[in-house]
Structure 1
Amino acid sequence: MTSNTLAETAVDRFQDRIPASLYEVAWQYSLYDWYNAATSADLDWDLAPEHLAYLTPRAKSGLFGEPDSLITVYADLSDPQNPQLGTAETTDEAVEITTLTEAGRYQVGHSYPEGKTSSMTDYSITTHKGADAHHIAGLRDDAWGTNNIQDRFTDWAQSEYAEEVRKSAEPDEAAILEGLATLGDDDTAMDELADSFLRLVDSEDDEIEALITVRVKPPGATEYKYPGEVPVLNDVMRAKKADRLTSISVENAEGEATGYVSDTVEAVTGGSPGLFGMFGKKQREHFADLDTEGQSAWRNRPLSFDVAAAVAVAGSVFDDFYQPLGSSRRLYVLPYLATRGSETDPETFERFYREVFTELQSADTGEDGTLNETVTELFDSVRSAYSTDSDSSSELSLGTSSSLNYSTVRIAVVYQVTGNPDRVFFDTLDGVFRPLELEDAHNTVLCGMPFDSNGIFEGNPSPESSWLLGEPSNLTRLILYGVYFRRTTEPTRSSRQANETPGAGAADDSRFSPVKTLLTDGKLSAATLLENYLHQLVQDQREQFDDDGEYIAFPKRSVVEQYIQLRALTDAGFLDSSQTLSFETTPMIDEYDSRDDRLAQFLESHAALDGDPQRAVFILGGLVGRITAYQDYEDISSTLVRRYPVDYLTKQTVQEVTKEVLQMNNSYAEAEDSRSYQTLNRYTDRLPDLMLSATLNDWSLTEAELQWLYSLGIAYGLSDTSLDTDDEQSSEQPLAADDN
């Protein structure tokens, strides 16, 4: 068949609704996998989609190219009345030992059971075994002696599944199964087969890991065929695998019902293994009142057998689409067509397969891999398709000319922690649009005040010092990977020094708890975020105290990154501030008469600085920052940020700190001819009334709110050195330790 005809076949198997669960995504991926096989140069015969769905051509890909990795028995069934062992192509024996190649992965027709035990036999006549030659020859006579060259004839070909298929098969096809079974009953033939194999090895103790298969010469044929090329052998494989979906770990898990994915009334099963370790038949806790006995197990999640088979092998397909994140964590990025079958044409299917599916599938993971770059390009294409500001066409592709409409593309995201058992921390069918919205909000903040011309943070910290400060930034992938929040948060104030890091997917996994909330349509708690921000700042500052470098020991860059993040989350509507300060802002002007005017505008434009307590703490921080900058300029090592670090400030200490800071400012004004009492009056004129006359018991600020506003004030004060005024050393450009 031509590729267009094959694409039509695949589209005909699309569901006539937009995918609404990971099961539909798995079904769609099984069609891309079939199309990949059907259009491959390695598949030069018609392999039915219902057969390919049950095969696992890459289940033992580690054997590709390995010496002695394929054991092939030859069965001459050309004369149905006289089946006999054949002669191998490379030896004079009935069996040969060669190399399993990637090109031959479809020919061998292998179907491997998920979670296979050592004694379990594979669904297909091709089976995998790692054992000594004595075992593989079929000479072991206990219950564990399965998966050998003899039981392909004595067991597999004589199974109830082979008998079931034989009864309904065409005569020539039935003769193949009958011939294999007849050879299995011939003790002389089986003994000769074992001897033939042992003549090819040095010793019965030789350890061999290989696929064991049988090539047959069908009735009336002159050439041998591998199992994957023989439909009746695939039919037996399919029947055997379908049975296991109803009988393993559940009883009678088959019934007549509407398929969960197919949406048609047909035979269904509730015994599929599930996806990513979720909803497997052995994990009953995921289903309320799951009945694994009697006649109703199939009611819990009825899947047609074809869909159940696709789900069973989806893991091996999905494994090409994840980014390893360390600590047994995986983030799966699964793009799919969010279209109905009736709305999908073969050209769209083929373009998506070529430009999205195969590009991502073939990308390499790891530090030097191309996966991250490919994922970013995919996100860019989706972003452009939905951009209201872009003049570019939505018909984009990953670096090639295309007419694929990316507005039909969605991206499922699954965060899995592997282990025993595997578990999913979160999953979503639309894992990109909220990160894209957050990215847009983040970049909008960076393009406006106070990062624009004459803004307090214009180029300070340097945009080159952090990807969170450079604009415009492609942040979607970093948001999905958890790096966006990992950069700014820590779960505890001592987590970097703790003996054990927070467990992957645990409640204190500050890297992915926000991502989970974001992707599952929730809002992040601003109160929790502030606490984690403070944990980060405290650890940053402690590390800088231990570093005798030339920079000011304060994490200004971290504070500014957190400030941007809070504003972006607020503007995107993803922050819940009901239990803490509001972080909404009003537009700030970009022209100021003085530093005092700039400070006034900053205070007025931030809802978090509306109240007197908030302003008092922020201005105290600003004054600490300005005096610290002066001390650094004068090479005074005992700076105020060292004396009053972030976690020193509490309701109990704040007024004491204020008095000491004001006194120090006065002392410098008296001692230095270049300074006066008016030098920092934008801070000192406001601070006494706000702070020293305050009744702290009336303050509702939490410790996290107080300390973070203090930190923001310090960052502001350290940056308050522009507007061409010279009320203090204007040439001084103090750098915090993380600015460069």
Structure 2
Amino acid sequence: MLTLEEFKEKYPPETLRKEIPESPISSLRGIQYLYGKLYTLATTGGGEYAPYLTPDAASDLIDTDDSLVVVRIDLSSENPQLADDKKGAVWVTRYADDLVQKVGHCKYPAARGIDHSVTHQAGRNSDPEKLARYAKERLTKWATDEVVTDAAATHDDGWIIRELAELAESEKVLEAIENEVIASLGGESATSLLTVQVKLETDGEYRWPGELDVFNEAMRQRKLSKLVTKNKADDSSGAATDLVTGTQSRTVGTSEDPQNYFLGKQRETFPGLDIEEAWRSHPISEDAAVTVMNAETFVEACTYRTFGAKVYYLPYFFGHQTPEKAYELYELLYSAVNEDEDVTPIERAYLNSREKDISETDLRFYVSAVMPHQMSRYDVFGETLNGQLHYPKELALTHNQLVTNASAFTTNAENNWTAPLPTNENWALLSETDDRLNSVSTGWYFHQTFAERDDEDADADDPRIEALVSVLSGNAIAVDVLLEEYVARIIDEESGDDEFDGFPSFLVASQFAQLCALADENLKLLTTTDPAKEPITRQPHYEQIIMDTLETIIATDGGHPAGSKLESFINETPALAPSRDDSDGSVTAERRGAFLLGALVGDVGSYQEYSEDRSTTLVDQYPVKSITRSRIKKVAQETIAKTLTYTRQEKKSGQSYPGTKADHIVDRLRETILNPDPDDWEIDTDDLRFYYALGVTYGMNDHPDWGKLQSDETDESEEEH
């Protein structure tokens, strides 16, 4: 395959402009056709027969021992005969780069049968007897094939093929070929291409199949015949407008596809499909179909696997195609084929776009995920032509910035109190990481937060793969699905076998960070049809530091930072924040009540664990799976009662409280949870449970920043001395 420099040299702009379609890409077939064109130019060159050749099929044989077995036939006299010169009737040599065009190989990807070209590729490590049989079949099978003989009958040089077929009737000739092959291989097995050379004039040279039009035309006709006869069709072809080029031509209905779409077995794609009339449902011309098939190398280089599905991420340039765009696209595709780096196509495209300063608005992607099944059936997820690198890249950057800079996850330098939610450098979603784009690209981003499956491979309706495709293509994810997945994962973690695991606070914080990143107003990757959940899809704005100075703390909360932190977090989180048109009975108010209840349970539970040395706390007593609308009132009453008990105990021990312990939570909870009565709440269970879990995480993290306090005390001690 040509390097970019070689490609540019061989195909200057004026030459390339004539080879590529000028019209904008408007379909998957258009992308495949362009890929096929570029691949053909880079491997077999231009010309009528170039798209039909398969130079990569035997590329691993180049420059290997005994990789080319040539049956040499002299047709220069009245009676055809095997060659009798120094090289002999059978010449075993090395398949080399300069022979790729000459042998004119066209692979037929079938378990049985012969290749389309007279050149045939044998299986790996075939024994001499099998290779001898394949050598004889260049005459006995290929030259006598019905399609080949029909092509010969209408070609001026058809006599060449007819004389090969005539030789096939001679047992003496066939025996000589067999003996020569076995003797030349010395009894050793080999992986080889088998072909022929023919001499046409007495004083002429032996010529390769690729040098003679009759061999090329017979190869072409044989390959075309397969495009109309797959799946037991007799002749699925007819005159129609080619959907790729827009020209009137003979179109075929059962051609192959690099992505296995539009197959005859895919009856659900075309209900009531008649195989013979398939060309009407999906008309593609013969030459376009073959060019599309040649896209496979580039298509495969731009795919990767995750959750058992195959993700296609195929780059192309928006608008009319130009030589300049073709060069840039070829560079992307060439690097995808030849670079060994273990990165996804998304990461490679990101790196290339930065290095080459490629406009991300011009660079688009076809995105889909395919789940293969038996019998060549496939489920296709979220197919789109409008994928942009912007979405996975920006999601990765947004998430990193959120957990490192946003006040919801970072402690104010002026404040000796923890951030609202915890971070942890050992949790990928709670720390900045350089491989976030890889996490997003592979779906690991959702694997960490969604419900776990017994089988790591995705099902036909697996929300992990659907979420991945949505992000790659820029389509919004239903927030209802996220909440369902989040809660299921939380409950799984809560009821795990490890008794020391405790409440999964880092998981909940990770889920919330993901939820916030997806809600970014520049991405808009969250959606819902439920007006009650609409606030969850809005982006929180945590960039503003919660408490700037000690004076602000005293002014807003009587000198205690916990109350100001809670008020700011609620007000800056749209899913929880009161609004002017918020009635007491709104779902947002109910969600806020669930959060506050969780915050109090988490706060008291932490107190029980660290001050009371209790092995079972309120957090254990009221797990997420136990929280329902009907239990909210009881849990709230019991938790507030427990808070009052601890307040009285501490006052008896000499500690002075101006009010109730954790009163910054209790007061707000009382306001929220009693009006309306929780029995009349309308909030969905998943919504209720997730924000209760978020509250528990908040409450467990709601305490002085011990590390900051110790650091401040050390600094003060050093200043005194």
TM-score, normalised on structure 2?
0.81
Cα pair distance change 1:83/1:404, threshold 3 Å: farther
Partner amino acid, structure 2, of 1:602: F
- Residue 379 of structure 1: which of 350, 369, 375 is its match? 350
Q: How far is 1:34 from its partner?
A: 1.9
- Does 1:479 find its partner at 2:440? yes
Is 1:361 matched up with 2:343? no
After TM superposition, give the deviation of residue 532 of structure 1 in Å: 0.5
Question: 1:297 and 1:694 mapped to 2: Cα distance?
Answer: 62
Partner of 1:349: 326
Q: 1:86 to 1:470 in 2, by over 3 A?
A: farther
**Structure 2 residue 601 is matched with structure 1 residue 624:** yes
- The residue that corresponds to 1:153 in the other structure is 139
Please state if 1:263 is matched with 2:246: yes
Once the two structures are superposed, the pairs formed by residues 562-577 of structure 1 within 5 Å of their partners are 562-570=511-519, 571=521, 572-577=523-528
Q: CA-to-partner distance for each residue in 1:119-152, whole Å, 9 max, x for gaps?
A: x2211111234466555434xxxxxxxxx22231
Equivalents in 1 of 2:682, 2:266: separation in Å? 47
Percent identity between the two aligned chains: 27
Post-superposition offset of 1:302: 1.2
Gaps in structure 1 of 5+ consecutive residues: 39-46, 139-147, 383-395, 733-740
**Residue type of the alignment partner of 1:573:** K
Which residue identity is paired with 1:605?
E
Instruction: Describe the SS at the equivalent of 2:282.
Output: coil
8 A contact 1:722–1:730 mirrored in 2: no
In the alignment, what sits opposite 2:638? 660
Q: Which residue of 2 aligns with 1:309?
A: 290
* Alignment CA distance shift 1:458-1:537 (3 Å): same
From 336, 342, 366, the counterpart of 1:412: 366
Distance 2:591 2:25 in 1: 48
Q: 2:529 aligns with which of 562, 566, 578?
A: 578
Classify 1:585/1:162 alpha carbon distance in 2 versus 1 (closer, same or farther; 3 Å).
Answer: closer
Aligned position for 1:423: 378
The one-character-per-residue Cα deviations of 1:283-318 (angstroms, maximum 9, x if unpaired) are: 33322442223xx44212111111111233433442
1:53 match: secondary structure? helix
Within the alignment, does 1:466 sit opposite 2:427 as a pair? yes
**Cα distance in 1 for residues equivalent to 2:36 and 2:663:** 70
Q: Is contact 1:585–1:607 with CA below 8 Å preserved after alignment?
A: yes
Query: SS of the residue aligned with 1:121?
Result: coil
Cα deviation for residue 252 of structure 1 reads 2.6
Contact 2:244 2:284 in 1 (8 A): yes
Q: 2:392 aligns with which of 430, 435, 438?
A: 435
Other-structure match for 1:19: 25
Q: Are 1:84 and 2:84 counterparts? A: no
> Does the CA contact (< 8 Å) of 1:363 and 1:371 recur in 2?
no
Partner Cα separation in structure 2 for residue 48 and residue 612 of structure 1: 68
Asked if 2 retains the 8 angstrom alpha-carbon contact of 1:425 and 1:505, the reply is: no
Kindly state the Cα deviation for residue 652 of structure 1 after the two structures are TM-superposed.
3.4
CA distance in 1 between partners of 2:7 and 2:458 (Å): 47
Report the Cα offset of residue 381 of structure 1: 5.1
Alignment of 1:52 with 2:50, yes or no, is yes
Match of 1:393 in 2: none
What is the Cα deviation at residue 711 of structure 1? 0.8
Q: How far apart are the structure 2 equivalents of 1:652 and 1:20?
A: 54
1:556 alignment partner in structure 2:
505
In 1, Cα distance between the equivalents of 2:410 and 2:275? 64
Structure 1 or 2: more helix by fraction: 2
Contact 1:25 1:336 in 2 (8 A): yes
Distance 1:22 1:502 in 2: 29
- What SS does the corresponding residue of 1:56 show, helix, strand or coil? coil
After TM superposition, give the deviation of residue 616 of structure 1 in Å: 2.1
> For the structure 1 residues 317 and 608, does the alpha-carbon distance in structure 2 shift closer, same or farther, using more than 3 Å as the test?
closer
Q: How does 1:175-190 map to 2 (within 5 A)?
A: 176-190=160-174
For 1:99-248, what aligned pairs fall within 5 Å after superposition? 105-114=100-109, 116-118=110-112, 120-130=113-123, 133-134=128-129, 136-138=131-133, 148-166=134-152, 176-200=160-184, 210-217=192-199, 219=201, 223-248=205-230
Paired with 1:457 and 1:274, the residues of 2 have a C-alpha distance of: 57
| Residues 360 and 375, structure 1, Cα contact 8 Å, conserved in 2 | no
The residue that corresponds to 2:262 in the other structure is: 279
Paired residues of 2:420 and 2:565 also in contact (CA < 8 A): no
Would the alpha carbon gap of residues 697 and 220 (structure 1) be closer, same or farther in structure 2, given more than 3 Å must change? farther
- For 2:450, the equivalent position in structure 1 comes to 489
SS in 1 for 2:510: helix
The amino acid across from 1:613 in the alignment is E
Residue 376 of structure 1 aligns with an amino acid whose one-letter code is E
- Which residue identity lines up with residue 704 of structure 1 in the other structure? D
- Spell out the pairing of 1:536-555 with structure 2 (5 A cutoff): 536-543=489-496, 546-548=498-500, 553-555=502-504
What do the CA deviations read for 1:424-443 (whole angstroms, capped 9, x no partner)?
42232233344345446545
Say if 1:668 and 1:675, in contact at 8 Å, map to a contact too: no
Q: Secondary structure at the match of 1:661?
A: helix
Paired residues, what number? 664
Aligned to 1:141: none
Q: In the alignment, what sits opposite 2:582?
A: none
The one-letter amino acid of 1:357's match is: L
Superposed displacement of residue 207, structure 1 = 7.2
Asked if the contact 2:302/2:336 (under 8 Å) is kept, the reply is yes
Evaluate the alpha carbon distance shift between residue 602 and residue 2 of structure 1 in structure 2; reply closer, same or farther with a 3 A threshold.
closer
Q: What per-residue deviation string (whole Å, max 9, x for no partner) do you get for residues 26-73 of structure 1?
A: 1111122123315xxxxxxxx544423222223355666776554332
8 Å CA contact 1:132, 1:207 repeated in 2: yes
Question: Aligned-pair RMSD on alpha carbons?
Answer: 3.7
The structure-2 alpha-carbon separation of the partners of 1:87 and 1:649, relative to structure 1 and needing over 3 Å to count, comes to: farther
| 2:36 match | 30
CA contact (8 A) 2:242 2:285 kept: yes
Letter in 2 for 1:233: F
Residue of structure 1 equivalent to 2:556: none
DSSP-derived class of the 1:607 partner: coil
Runs (5+) with no aligned partner, structure 2: 1-5, 548-552, 554-560, 579-587, 714-721
- Counterpart-to-counterpart distance in 1, 2:418 and 2:42: 52
* Corresponding position of 1:640: 618
Following the alignment from structure 2 to structure 1, what is the Cα–Cα distance between the partners of residues 65 and 424?
54
Shift of 1:503: 5.2
Match for residue 592 of structure 2 among 607, 610, 615: 615
Do the aligned residues in 2 keep the contact of 1:19 with 1:338 (CA within 8 Å)?
yes
Contact 1:626 1:720 in 2 (8 A): yes
Q: Residues 628 and 641 of structure 1 are in contact (CA less than 8 Å); yes or no, is this contact kept in structure 2?
A: yes
Judge conservation of contact 1:110–1:126 (CA < 8 Å) in 2.
yes
Q: Which residue of 1 aligns with 2:719?
A: none
Whole-angstrom CA distance in 2 between matches of 1:317 and 1:377: 14
Deviation at 1:624, TM superposition (A): 1.9
Q: Distance in 1 between matches of 2:712 and 2:656?
A: 14
Please tell me whether the aligned partners of residues 463 and 470 of structure 1 are also in contact (alpha carbons under 8 angstroms).
yes
CA contact (8 A) 1:274 1:281 kept: no
Shift of 1:700: 0.7
Match of residue 315 from structure 2: 335
Classify the secondary structure of the residue corresponding to 1:268. Answer: strand
Does the C-alpha gap of structure 1 residues 240 and 167 become closer, same or farther in structure 2, counting only changes over 3 Å? same
Give the C-alpha shift of residue 585 in structure 1: 5.1
Q: Secondary structure at the match of 1:287?
A: coil
**1:631 aligned partner, one-letter code:** Q
